[in-house]
Structure 1
Amino acid sequence: MDTIHIRGIRAHCLIGVFDWEKQAPQPIDMDLAIGCDLRPAGQTDDLKQTLDYKAMADDVTAWAQASRFELIEALAESLCDKLLQTYPLAQSVRLTLMKPHAVPYVDNVGLTIERQRAQSDHKN
């Protein structure tokens, strides 16, 4: 499987378990690695045969900014689900999500999750 990388996506969203975190949007940094078959795009030089990086970055940013979660785990799960539902060419999504300064004496906290399209969802 081939991989498309989109790194350094920044969104501002309401996320956190403490009341002060729910008052103002906080930055969330995201990196995506999308597993897909890039051969058709490489052979045809046709954007319709690949994933539109800008559209994906725009969607992830908009979805994160519209979200309301307490846990970054829940936000990450939601974003992976939406990507797999919205982009049929995506076979897997690896998302790294970082929440800068969530802990006062730490630069970043975050996680990486990877989700794959269910076998029944694969297009033949």
Structure 2
Amino acid sequence: MDTITLTNIRVYAYHGCLPEETKIGSDYRVDLSVEADLDLSAESDALKDTVDYVHLNTIVKEEMSQPSKLLEHVAKRILDRIFSELDPVKASNVKVAKLNPPLGGDVENVSISLSRTRD
């Protein structure tokens, strides 16, 4: 399988269990990779024959704009949409990082990663 990777998608969003997190918001970073057969697009040079990374970025931004208590929940929604909307994708990994989380200490970020394969 071949891989398309989007690295360091930066968004401002309102995720968290604390009420102030959903009011004030925070900076997030999302890394996304998808696996698909890219042989046809490599030969044809046609956008219709590949997984459009603009579409992937749109999915991330739209799902990150919907508040969730847990990063796991928003990551699952991203993966669900990828598999629902992009048939060529065979596997995907998404990493969602909350920058400067309110943990009562000096922590650069906290992140979760979810991986799925098409059934």
TM over 0.5: yes
After TM superposition, give the deviation of residue 9 of structure 1 in Å: 0.6
After TM superposition, give the deviation of residue 55 of structure 1 in Å: 2.2
Aligned twin of 1:114: 115
Matched to 1:105, the amino acid is D
Count of aligned positions: 117
After TM superposition, give the deviation of residue 76 of structure 1 in Å: 0.8
Aligned twin of 1:86: 85
Runs (4+) of structure 1 exceeding 2 A deviation are: none
How do residues 1-124 of structure 1 correspond to structure 2 at under 5 angstroms?
A: 1-65=1-65, 67-102=66-101, 103=103, 104-118=105-119
Cα distance in 2 for partners of 1:11, 1:88 equals 26
Q: What's the CA shift string for 1:70-93, capped at 9, x where partnerless? A: 110111111111111111111111
Cα distance in 1 for partners of 2:25, 2:110 equals 17
Cα distance in 2 for partners of 1:82, 1:58 equals 11
After TM superposition, give the deviation of residue 53 of structure 1 in Å: 1.0
Could you say what secondary structure the match of 2:24 adopts? coil
User: How high is the sequence identity, in percent, across the aligned residues?
Assistant: 25
- Contact kept in structure 1, 2:63 and 2:74, CA below 8 Å: no
Q: What's the CA shift string for 1:83-110, capped at 9, x where partnerless? A: 1111111111101110001134100100
Cα distance in 1 for partners of 2:85, 2:24 equals 29
Cα distance in 1 for partners of 2:73, 2:56 equals 19
Cα distance in 1 for partners of 2:34, 2:98 equals 21
**RMSD after superposition:** 1.1
